[in-house]
Structures are given as structure tokens and as C-alpha cells.
Amino acid sequence: FTGEPRECDEGALEWVEINKVEELDLWEGDKIFFRLLRENRPFFSLNCLTMRMVSFWMQYWTVSR
């Protein structure tokens, strides 16, 4: 990437240490997503309903060779 990032209403773009990501003001679904990444889930689907978390479901897949 070259140039300057465009401004947006989601805040300033900045690098955050991986162990401090969940301290940010995140959407509820993002908190679940980051937890799954931290748990090293290789494949998952996360479906959140509405902007405010009302319910969610998760499905995990395992891959065998």
C-alpha cells in the first residue's frame, strides 16, 4: 500500500498488540471471532443476528487427510 488511508467513521487505523485486541471497543461478534482465532480453530462459521448480539450459533469443521 502506498499513500494515506482514507478517514472513516470507525476510528483511527492503528496497530494493536495481539494480546490487547480484546481490550478494544469491539462488536460482540468480533469478541467471539477473536476468541476462536486465539483458540486456533482451523475452520468455523459464526453467524450473529442484528447489530446487538441477540443470539449466535457456531459450527466447527475438522479436516482429515
21-60 pLDDT per residue, tens: 888 888 877 888 788 778 887 666 666 666 666 666 667 7
- Given a cut of 80, is residue 64 above it in pLDDT? no
Contact 45, 58 (CB under 8 A): yes
Helices (H) and strands (E) in the chain, counts: 1, 2
pLDDT-derived band at 5 (thresholds 50, 70, 90) equals: confident
Compute the distance between CA of residue 59 and CA of residue 40 in angstroms, rounded to an integer. Answer: 14
- pLDDT confidence of residue 25: 85
